[in-house]
Amino acid sequence: MDTKRPPGQVRIPQSGNREAREPQPLWGSARIRQSCLRPQFRVRSFGYGSRWNGAPKPASNRGRTPRDYTSQAKPSDSKQKVSRSQWCVPTVYGRGKAADERRTESFLLLTAQKKLSKLHGAQCARLPMSNSPVTNVMSNDIRCNAGTRPVGAKCVVPAGSTVTVEMHQQPNDRSCAQEAIGGAHHGPVAVYLSKVSDATKADGSAPWFKIFEDSWAKNSAGGSGDDDFWGTKDLNSCCGKMSVPIPSDLAAGDYLLRAEALALHTAGGSGGAQFYMTCYQLSITGTGTRTPAGVSLPGAFSASDPGILVNIHGSMSSYKPPGPAVIQGGTTKRAGSACVGCERTCAPGSGPSGTATQAPQPTGGDGGSGPGPAPTGCTAQLYGQCGGIGWTGCMACASGSCVRLNDYYSQCQA
């Protein structure tokens, strides 16, 4: 494995005996930004930010300090060979000996009345503590990823609105020039909701129901599953964005939104499928009354499910994604179909003032080299990283000031 750490990436000490690994190129910041699932809330994602620019304000605790990203990250159970390429929201490649690790940038974007409002996912997103995939489907990590904890804020989302999940390979790069999920990390994309009494305290044990799915479709011109249409390929063709409608008849209240990308490139053996997910704390408003039945996580998946234990490198005639069916009133997107709405029109840096900027998420280092000197003469953009242990990027802010959020992350804020 190449021991050189790409410029601008943060090296974070790993807990336990886990070796710090070099993040590989790869769903959002699987962050959600209203949306990066990482859509764009003023949440911390499928990003971090400290301003709403007209979007609904968090239901509570707007000023909470972000949690420390270094809290005990659990080692990956994966023993599969993976290639050096990995993706931002979660997708990984395959042929190497290191566990797959992808940079995940997530955002949640809210589309309402033909105007994109900013709800930065950094404040309501439970950001993963590492870039490693979850491979043990019977672990509680399958709920909201390993090492994640509740955050103080909630993102207010009207029922019937649309959030956009957005993912990218690298921090500070929402460019469409690079694939959102690099390499042959093909698989389905799914979004779940779970009705909870308080999203800032929920542990993910309440039932989950699926509201969105972009899975698989046969490509008659292809010879193997690698050539077929997949949800992760749609993320790539749509600049890392995927629009997810929130059913209009859902009962108002607190929810966890779980955005998941499943990479199947090494799924031919048990434990080879790689789950990448981020959970967001939402407060859904509206007059609906429906609370759909759900499934338990863990419990909804088995390592031997045909949608999890599968060889996608041969010819495929069908594919059934894991988990429950999409609920009535949910959305099933046909893999390979055209991008819609914000997926094509909201290019990075374009659109109304509500468009959120991406904030980087700390990632593991190469386990050996220390941080290099910070570049001189450069400035970080608003809500971008400007400091922290191991940070080698810009230390000055183009606007606002650099605010320390924890030992490993400082951010440019207005």
Residue 168 pLDDT greater than 90, yes or no: no
CATH of the domain at 11: 2.70.50.70
pLDDT band at 172 (very low <50, low <70, confident <90, very high): low
Judged by DSSP in three states, 179 sits in: coil
Rounded to an integer, the average pLDDT of 196-216 is 97
Strand-pair partners of 164: 33, 243
Q: What confidence tier does 115 reach under pLDDT thresholds 50, 70, 90? A: very low
Are 50 and 137 within one domain? yes
pTM for this predicted structure: 0.60
> Do 257 and 358 belong together in one domain?
yes
DSSP state at residue 140 = T
Residue 346's SS3 state is coil
Are both 335 and 319 inside the same structural domain? yes
Whether residues 318 and 399 fall in one domain: no
Do 391 and 356 sit in the same domain of this protein? no
Q: What is the pLDDT of residues 292-320, one digit of tens each?
A: 999 999 999 999 999 999 999 999 999 99
Average pLDDT over residues 207-236: 94
The burial of 237, by beta-carbon neighbours within 10 Å (0-12 exposed, 13-18 middle, 19 or more buried), is given as: middle
Cis, peptide link before residue 298, omega less than 30° from 0: yes
* Cα gap 32→59, rounded to integer Å: 17
Complete DSSP assignment for 350-397: -SSTTPPPP--------SSPPP-PPPSS-EEPTTSEEE-TT--S--EE
**Nearest alpha carbon to residue 151 among 119, 102, 92, 198:** 198
Q: Please tell me the predicted confidence (pLDDT) of residue 176.
A: 79
The residue count of the chain comes to 414
Tens of pLDDT, residues 74-106: 333 333 333 222 222 322 222 222 233 333 344
Note the pLDDT tens digit of each residue in 14-28.
333 333 332 322 233
Do 294 and 401 reside in the same domain of the chain? no
Number of domains in the chain: 2
Domain end residue (candidates: 353, 370, 387) = 370
Which residue reads 């997949």 in tokens?
230
Same domain, 313 and 393: no
CB atoms within 10 A of CB 380: 25
State the average pLDDT for the chain. Answer: 68
Residues 101 and 208 in one domain: yes
Q: Are 389 and 407 in contact (CB under 8 A)?
A: yes
d(CA 29, CA 166): 7
Burial category of 298 from C-beta neighbours within 10 Å (exposed 0-12, middle 13-18, buried 19 and up): middle
Indicate the DSSP class of residue 223: S
Same domain? 281 vs 400: no
What pLDDT sits at residue 239? 84
Name the amino acid, one letter, at 291: T
**Domain coverage including residue 388:** 372-414
Same domain, 74 and 164: yes
**Claim to verify: residue 155 and residue 206 sit in the same structural domain:** yes
pLDDT at 20: 32
Query: Do 343 and 394 belong to one domain?
Result: no
